[in-house]
Amino acid sequence: MTQAETQQVARSGTLVWIFRILVIAAGAYMAYSWFQPWWIADMAVIKGDNDIVLHPWGVEVVRQVRVQADPALYEMPGFFAPFTWVYFSLAMLALVVSLFWKKTISLGRFKVSYATIMILLVGLSYLITVGLAYGIGNIRAEATGINFIGKSEYTDPMSHRKMKLVADLQIGYWHAVYAAAALFVLGLLRGLFNRTQKA
């Protein structure tokens, strides 16, 4: 092996590890965003600011809301939380496997690595997740007569009390958007870091 070839191999190995570090960082960013609040609603009649908190896996409410408000305002189907945690676990597993899996699949005239497909799918699915969170949240808010974002007045059907409510997306939601976009872009750029290793 010539000196030029040796340098090329070393450069290739360096690029591969740089890409792996980027994937790890993006995966850690995704995990961080997963554990952050995505949306918060504050009811004026209840002390504190975080009365209803939306997470990717479900909704947390303070005791006063649970006692006084209609469950339709915050409850999710029983399967929802387990399903979202299974999704998150599989996404993290896919990112870990993608770091070292070198096999490819033929798509017509092109060969695409399984690692690239997994990274793209994780990024795309997380983008879909944040989109669904906004869409479903907005639909449920409208169904109960409140604004998903902004100020509104809510009349509880159980107690018939009127409550002022302020709701807004949180920085965790935008972290999730950025993490998903970063993973999707990394999936698209993977070939630039693995040119000599056809992985």
Return the bridge partners of 31, or none. none
Q: Which residues contact 197 (CB under 8 A, 6 or more apart)?
A: 12, 16, 102
- Residue 103's pLDDT is 86
* Domain residue extents for the chain: 3-193
Q: Give this prediction's pTM.
A: 0.83
One digit per residue, the tens of pLDDT, for the chain of length 199 reads: 565 555 555 566 788 889 999 999 999 999 999 999 999 988 776 666 678 899 999 888 877 666 666 666 667 888 999 999 999 999 999 999 999 888 888 877 778 889 999 999 999 999 999 999 999 889 888 887 888 999 988 776 666 777 788 899 999 999 999 999 999 999 999 878 776 444 3
- Residue 197's pLDDT is 44
3-state secondary structure at position 155:
strand
Angle in degrees, 0-180, between the axes of helices 80-98 and 3-34, rounded to the nearest 10? 170
CATH topology of domain 3-193: Butyryl-CoA Dehydrogenase, subunit A; domain 3 (1.20.140)
